[in-house]
Structure 1
Amino acid sequence: MSKPHAMSPSHEVANAIWRPYCQMKTAPDPLEIVSAQDFHLQTADGRQLIDGMASWWSVCHGYAHPHVIEAVTKQLERLPHVMFGGITHEPAERLASRIVAMLPAELKHVFFADSGSVAVEAAMKMAMGYWRRRGRPERCRFLSFDNAYHGDTTGAMSLCDPERSMHASYGNAILSQIHAPLPTHPGNEETLREILDRHHHEIAGIFLEPLVQGAGGMRFHDAATVRQIRLLCDEYEVLMITDEIATGFGRTGSMFAIDTCQIVPDIICLGKALTAGTMTMAVTVATSEVFNAFWSDSADDAFMHGPTFMANPLACAAANASMDLFESEPQVQRAREMDPKLLAGLESSRQIPGVVDVRSRGAIGVVQVEALTELETLRRQFIDAGVWLRPFGDCIYVTPPLNLPDALIEQMCSAIVDVMSAREFSSPELTISG
């Protein structure tokens, strides 16, 4: 084996952090943030930016909300962390009860994870374990949809679109799953049915991002599509697993997308906004039908999974404080009311060459273009205009805090349109994005 090329000490120091979703060799220096308050990021060079991303969908109530900060501070003084194996604590018990109370009555059993990807992995493991304990171990594969994105860990990667996702280059190195077009029209529905006819005997569950496919292109579909998938899951006796890590907690204009769709999945994954963007936590919630498959006198039937930081008390305190705010403030209503405001604010970008579509759903606004070129330059232009955005693929999108004031919505949308108006988006050139 050849000896690896040695970097100079200065080069090693410069790359001490391996950064996400970028080519380290060519990426510009990252933007340094020194503080965040309410709806703004404060940069090291003294600028104040509206955060149009809510830190990847998570900061649902704005930054440094005093109620959340107070709850986490008090918990820090009492019990920052304790293992959850053989131990429990009040913040976790209370949070699990509150999550269950928010969901349809059938979803009763909360498994704590430490990230959204791990929550997806736990759901996969639950589904496979369910069928094994029902004497059907051959049901160990999953069906997911074109343009899907479910996370970056190995199992979650296999659920993402195998050709169009950022994980496509891994090809056969990851688990082999089954992929289908969303049944948004009769032709696709028939295709999905044909796939289920051939493969239902080996499918443990169908994974779906209900209403909004996020990192796969900010693509929307309607509630009828979700209901049709639920009916097909029932017909072919496969579990339905909804990934609401991004869409949960008000983002689409209802507390959960499944509320709008009026369906009950067998398993649901939640995360991101769960802790109001203060620290990492996610949950996988299952019905009693799934849970009871593991309920046994035999230790061999237990669900053998347990992240070190699952049910971290600080994260539980933050999540409980976030639940308080959802109960005391009209955050979901604000997200619902933001929908037409985002659409109105971005609508004029339709006239820009290369713009394909402008759409909104709840507190999500999207301008879709033919191609995004000079992506880093575009991001810097948005910074200069006073907003923080991370356009990717063919989308310039916003997912701001649910309670972003109207004046800031208008300012953010105007900045987007102004920056876009000076460019064209019809070049076929492709760029790496994330």
Structure 2
Amino acid sequence: MDLKSSPIWYPYTQEKLADDPIIIEKAQGAYLYPKGGEKVYDAISSWWVNIHGHSHPYINKRLNEQLSTMEQTIFAGHTHVPAINLAKRILEKLGNKFHKVFFSDNGSTSVECALKMSLQFWKNQGIKRQKILAFNHGFHGETFGTRAVGNCLENISELCQGVFEIDFIEAPIPGTTLSQLEEKLASNDYAAFIFEPIIQGVRGMVMQDINVLDSMIKLCQEKEILCIADEVMTGFGRTGKMFAIDYLENKPDIVCLAKALTGGTLPLALTVCNEKVHQAFYSDDLSKALLYGHSFAGNALGCAAAHASLDLLEKAETINSIEKINSYHLDFAQEVKGSNFKTLFKDIRIMGTIIALEYKSNSKNGYFNELGPKMKSFFRDRNVLLRPLGNVIYIIPPYCSKQDDLKLAYEAIWDFSEGLND
């Protein structure tokens, strides 16, 4: 179906410039199967969500079992065992350093909830702290609140100014010091500090200095500023550990989880907080409650899928696959560094199952770089699903990917780079 006649308004699409959408009839394992075309390797896990592969038989089995009992119920004043057990399981995975789990349905709502928690935390105590501290070039979701605290896409971020009072500081990329943060903290009027731990995804998989980030969290918590870790992209094995915060000594007060939570099967999100945060809402006063919720919060099918995904993540086979993908990325990076087009790249970044290659460019860096559309068209013709972030091409594959699958993506990137070098 061509874009002009389609009744659908597609995300992140300029209809006047974009190719017509590919109609997918089936998805199995690491591949998408278009109508009347060759299979496509899903090298970005369908927007970073599908960690075990499409139509996974074990997840489908657990979904069918749950579907025969209950699909959805109101979550205010009611509950169910799949949600209760999932909350317990997540708290255990997080090292029992947290206390309560709030359910919603996507990454944006998870972060929205965290922002509401942190602002109301201070209001409930009668203390006026309303400013938010965030990293420059961050991305935290698609709603007005989440876009306000993330200024990665400037054309939208400008529309969200005024939602919160926000200060932006530079993320702790290697070489960063604490001086900018120390200067900001002199006023000590921040409600919360929100950050993408270790990796800024939409910025271009930009990786941070773990020790400096750790020190930033410590400094903020010494000033009693609530720290929010947006693990929507990094959670569930992406960085090589279950959560990116597992690399940190100083733990945040609130953690946001979504995307891979259900193995990419259904929308589900969690906002997890420590006891300190929760106690500020525990009161005889109804107005101090977190009066917030979503119709599909705690969806039973989503919880069943999440349990199945966690089961798979605990298997030695999955852990080994994550390690192998990392080793394949490292080998490919070495090949690129030894190639005749190595000078095309400003940086090559790898962590866990993620590899990002940043091309040098004379035009504007970031999402609107002119290389982006050229790459997207090239990889589409190669039957590899890769969506560049401006002048950055990255791979964030399903964990079921084998070396031959990844070679399809590596070879496509290699050929595109050779073409630029001609």
* TM-score bracket relative to the smaller structure: over 0.9
Q: In the TM superposition, what is the alpha-carbon distance from 1:32 to its structure 2 partner?
A: 1.5
Residues 13, 215 of structure 1: CA spacing in aligned structure 2 closer, same or farther, 3 A cutoff? closer
Contact kept, 8 Å, 1:134 with 1:293, in 2: the verdict is: yes
Bigger drift between 234-243 and 331-340 goes to 331-340
Distance (whole Å) between structure 2 residues aligned to residue 234 and residue 173 of structure 1: 26
Residues 309, 370 of structure 1: CA spacing in aligned structure 2 closer, same or farther, 3 A cutoff? same
| Counterpart selection for 1:394 from 391, 396, 411 | 391
Q: In the TM superposition, what is the alpha-carbon distance from 1:358 to its structure 2 partner?
A: 1.4
Residues 104, 134 of structure 1: CA spacing in aligned structure 2 closer, same or farther, 3 A cutoff? farther
Distance (whole Å) between structure 2 residues aligned to residue 187 and residue 268 of structure 1: 24
Counterpart residue identity of residue 78, structure 1: T
Counterpart residue identity of residue 168, structure 2: H
Bigger drift between 327-336 and 20-29 goes to 327-336
| Counterpart selection for 1:311 from 298, 301, 312 | 298
| Counterpart selection for 1:373 from 370, 375, 390 | 370
Q: In the TM superposition, what is the alpha-carbon distance from 1:51 to its structure 2 partner?
A: 0.6
The 5 A counterparts of 1:145-156 are 145-156=135-146
2:110 is matched with which residue? 119
Q: In the TM superposition, what is the alpha-carbon distance from 1:345 to its structure 2 partner?
A: 1.6
SS in 1 for 2:161: helix
Residues 265, 172 of structure 1: CA spacing in aligned structure 2 closer, same or farther, 3 A cutoff? closer
Matched, 1:158 2:148: yes
Matched, 1:364 2:354: yes
1:430 is matched with which residue? none
Distance (whole Å) between structure 2 residues aligned to residue 98 and residue 363 of structure 1: 24
Residues 101, 362 of structure 1: CA spacing in aligned structure 2 closer, same or farther, 3 A cutoff? same
Q: In the TM superposition, what is the alpha-carbon distance from 1:219 to its structure 2 partner?
A: 0.2
Counterpart residue identity of residue 247, structure 1: T
Q: In the TM superposition, what is the alpha-carbon distance from 1:161 to its structure 2 partner?
A: 2.2
Q: In the TM superposition, what is the alpha-carbon distance from 1:183 to its structure 2 partner?
A: 3.9
Distance (whole Å) between structure 2 residues aligned to residue 106 and residue 218 of structure 1: 28
Residues 15, 88 of structure 1: CA spacing in aligned structure 2 closer, same or farther, 3 A cutoff? same
Distance (whole Å) between structure 2 residues aligned to residue 140 and residue 15 of structure 1: 43
1:225 is matched with which residue? 212
Distance (whole Å) between structure 2 residues aligned to residue 42 and residue 211 of structure 1: 34
Bigger drift between 344-353 and 364-373 goes to 344-353
Distance (whole Å) between structure 1 residues aligned to residue 161 and residue 298 of structure 2: 34
2:181 is matched with which residue? 192
Matched, 1:32 2:23: yes
Identity %: 34
Contact kept, 8 Å, 1:335 with 1:402, in 2: the verdict is: yes
1:143 is matched with which residue? 133
Contact kept, 8 Å, 2:4 with 2:15, in 1: the verdict is: no
The 5 A counterparts of 1:44-63 are 44-63=35-54
Counterpart residue identity of residue 179, structure 1: F
SS in 2 for 1:360: strand
Contact kept, 8 Å, 1:251 with 1:332, in 2: the verdict is: no
Q: In the TM superposition, what is the alpha-carbon distance from 1:167 to its structure 2 partner?
A: 2.4
When the two structures are superposed, what TM-score results if normalisation uses the length of structure 1? 0.90
SS in 1 for 2:352: coil
Contact kept, 8 Å, 1:250 with 1:331, in 2: the verdict is: no
Contact kept, 8 Å, 2:196 with 2:231, in 1: the verdict is: yes
Contact kept, 8 Å, 1:182 with 1:188, in 2: the verdict is: no
Distance (whole Å) between structure 2 residues aligned to residue 374 and residue 221 of structure 1: 24
* Unaligned 5+ runs, structure 2: 362-368
Distance (whole Å) between structure 2 residues aligned to residue 219 and residue 359 of structure 1: 7
Distance (whole Å) between structure 2 residues aligned to residue 160 and residue 312 of structure 1: 28
RMSD of the TM alignment (CA)? Answer: 2.1
| Counterpart selection for 1:284 from 271, 277, 280 | 271
1:20-42 alpha-carbon deviations (Å, 9 max, x no partner): 11212221101211111111111
When the two structures are superposed, what TM-score results if normalisation uses the length of structure 2? 0.92
SS in 1 for 2:141: coil
Q: In the TM superposition, what is the alpha-carbon distance from 1:333 to its structure 2 partner?
A: 4.3
Distance (whole Å) between structure 2 residues aligned to residue 376 and residue 79 of structure 1: 44
Q: In the TM superposition, what is the alpha-carbon distance from 1:174 to its structure 2 partner?
A: 4.1
1:432 is matched with which residue? none
| Counterpart selection for 1:341 from 306, 320, 328 | 328
Counterpart residue identity of residue 100, structure 1: L
Q: In the TM superposition, what is the alpha-carbon distance from 1:152 to its structure 2 partner?
A: 1.0
Q: Number of aligned residue pairs: give it.
A: 412
